[in-house]
Amino acid sequence: MTGFNDERVRLLAAICREMQRLVGLNPFFLPTRKLGRLLGASWSSVARWLVALETLGVIHLAPGEVRRRGGSRSPHYHCDISFPSAKRSGQSNTAADLQAEAHQSQGRSQLSNQPTITAAAAVSV
């Protein structure tokens, strides 16, 4: 992702991409306080970065989600970043194209947010 000087924003975008890959077509939750600790930033900075990524069209709120000012809960998102390996092979692997993977992952058990985010960050680096 170009246009961001802070490497932490790029890592956040990569985490979003990997989270979407892990959950298939389902929306994913990004706890800003845990992400802040993981990225070495304040939770409010992470929240602003998520709004910026949403403005750029990298992520969008899941259907029915509403961001509330001063709310105590982070919304669920969908990510629309293509995967680099898919670009090289001529395929598109955005969230809308991951339906086959979603069907395969339905039988998997749900993971808690912290191990999933940590796993996504490890894969992205």
Quote the pLDDT of residue 74: 80
The closest of 29, 12, 5, 2 to 124, measured between CA atoms, is 12
What is d(CA 14, CA 31) in angstroms, rounded to the nearest whole number? 15
Per-residue confidence band for 73, with pLDDT thresholds at 50, 70 and 90: confident
Q: Are 53 and 59 in contact (CB under 8 A)?
A: yes
Give the chain's mean pLDDT.
74
Given its phi and psi angles, is residue 40 left (phi above 0), alpha (psi -120 to 50 degrees) or beta? left
| pTM greater than 0.85 (yes/no) | no
What's the whole-number mean pLDDT along residues 25-31?
A: 92
**CB distance 78 to 1 below 8 Å:** no
Domain boundaries of the chain, sorted by first residue: 7-124
Check pLDDT > 80 for residue 22. yes
Quick one: what percent of the chain has pLDDT higher than 90?
Answer: 42
As a whole number, mean pLDDT of residues 55-63 equals 91
